[in-house]
């Protein structure tokens, strides 16, 4: 089992000094990755299914991860997730290639299609066809990253006759991880990604998701074992127990991305990291 830390760009870690301190502590503790979530805007007032109060600070993932890259050496840097259909794929490809370059090839590209219609409306982006658009945008990004003479022709996006350098350090491109708990999300992960990320899942929900992901892999003619499975446990007041972690491992989870959601300040996040270091990291 590997361990990641979620929220390096939000809440207490939206303060640069706190993010740098937490990132260094997590790397020293043996965490393998730091993860940044994304919402460009949040509904005001908060209403379901919005995940957070509108006043919660949340830095742009690429900016936050680029910043903590300069304060760390080895820990990987994951977008958990970027809402792809809200983005221009060539602009995002440039941002993420730049992040991979400045971090020395440490990016994990986590992708989602989004679920807050109010956010799409505020950005003047259509909420319709966001799944197919995401798949097209991803193919366009891979083309500009990988092809000698990149071009892409799709229903929602097209380009040709251009280049974008530097390319990502990781070749042919950074690892792609799809998030989401729906059948289409499982099919996208099975067809297009090297991993899947499930957020705020207990053991039972994880088991159900992985059963559907196995079925999606079989449908796509792919080995389930070739997917890297990352899960954020349902946040509690502290790090999960060693027994909890072993149960996730038995289900087939490779990485637990821990989220100190209840931590109100930098000191609390650092205590959470220390608790995980002494109780979990290196013991599973």
Query: What tens digit of pLDDT does each residue of 71-126 get?
Result: 999 999 999 999 999 999 999 999 999 999 999 999 999 999 999 999 999 999 99
Give 245's DSSP letter: H
Helix, strand, or coil here: 14?
helix
Beta bridge partners of 35: 6, 78
What integer best gives the mean pLDDT of the chain?
Answer: 97
Confidence of residue 238 (pLDDT cuts 50, 70, 90): confident
- 239: pLDDT strictly greater than 90: no
- 282: pLDDT strictly greater than 80: no
Question: What is the pLDDT averaged over residues 51-69?
Answer: 97
The CA angle 50-51-52, to the nearest 5 degrees, is 100
pLDDT value of residue 231: 98
Question: What is the pLDDT averaged over residues 186-204?
Answer: 97
The CA angle 116-140-114, to the nearest 5 degrees, is 10
Residues in the chain: 284
Q: What is the largest CA-CA distance in the chain?
A: 55
Q: Give the number of other Cβ atoms within 10 Å of residue 225's Cβ.
A: 10
CATH domain 2-279 topology? TIM Barrel (3.20.20)
Residue 262 has which token pair? 């209840």
Helices 130-146 & 89-102, crossing angle to 10 degrees?
A: 50
pLDDT value of residue 279: 86
Helix, strand, or coil here: 232?
strand
Tell me if the bond preceding 71 is cis, omega within 30° of 0: no
Distance CA 110, CA 169 (A): 17
pLDDT value of residue 233: 96
- 45: pLDDT strictly greater than 80: yes
Query: What tens digit of pLDDT does each residue of 153-193 get?
Result: 999 999 999 999 999 999 999 999 999 999 999 999 999 99
Query: What tens digit of pLDDT does each residue of 244-258 get?
Result: 999 999 999 999 999
Residue 229 has which token pair? 């499975």
Confidence of residue 235 (pLDDT cuts 50, 70, 90): confident
Distance CA 268, CA 253 (A): 27
pLDDT value of residue 281: 82
Count the helix, strand and coil residues of the chain and give each as a percent rounded to the nearest 5. 45, 15, 40
Q: pTM surpassing 0.75?
A: yes
């Amino acid at each position: 089992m590997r361990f990641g830390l979620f929220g390096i760009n939000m809440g207490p870690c939206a303060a640069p000094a706190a993010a740098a301190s937490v990132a260094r502590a997590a790397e020293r503790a043996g965490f393998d990755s730091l993860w940044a979530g994304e919402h460009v805007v949040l509904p005001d007032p908060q209403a379901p299914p919005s995940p957070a109060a509108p006043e919660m600070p949340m830095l742009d993932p690429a900016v936050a991860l680029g910043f903590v890259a300069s304060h760390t050496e080895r820990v990987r840097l994951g977008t958990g997730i970027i809402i792809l259909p809200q983005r221009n794929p060539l602009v995002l490809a440039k941002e993420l290639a730049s992040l991979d370059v400045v971090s020395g090839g440490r990016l994990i590209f986590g992708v989602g299609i989004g679920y807050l219609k109010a956010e799409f409306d505020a950005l003047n982006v259509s909420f319709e066809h966001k799944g197919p658009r995401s798949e097209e945008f991803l193919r366009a990004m891979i083309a500009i990253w990988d092809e000698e003479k990149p071009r892409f022709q799709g229903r929602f996006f097209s380009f040709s006759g251009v280049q974008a350098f530097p390319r990502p350090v990781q070749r042919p491109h950074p690892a792609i991880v799809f998030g989401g708990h729906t059948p289409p999300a499982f099919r996208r992960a099975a067809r297009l990604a090297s991993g899947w990320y499930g957020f705020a899942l207990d053991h039972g929900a994880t088991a159900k998701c992985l059963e559907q992901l196995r079925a999606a892999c079989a449908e796509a003619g792919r080995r389930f074992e070739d997917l890297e499975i990352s899960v954020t446990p349902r946040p509690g007041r502290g790090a999960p127990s060693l027994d909890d972690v072993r149960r996730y491992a038995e289900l087939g989870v490779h990485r637990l991305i821990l989220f100190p959601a209840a931590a109100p300040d930098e000191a609390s996040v650092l205590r959470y990291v220390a608790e995980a270091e002494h109780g979990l990291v290196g013991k599973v």
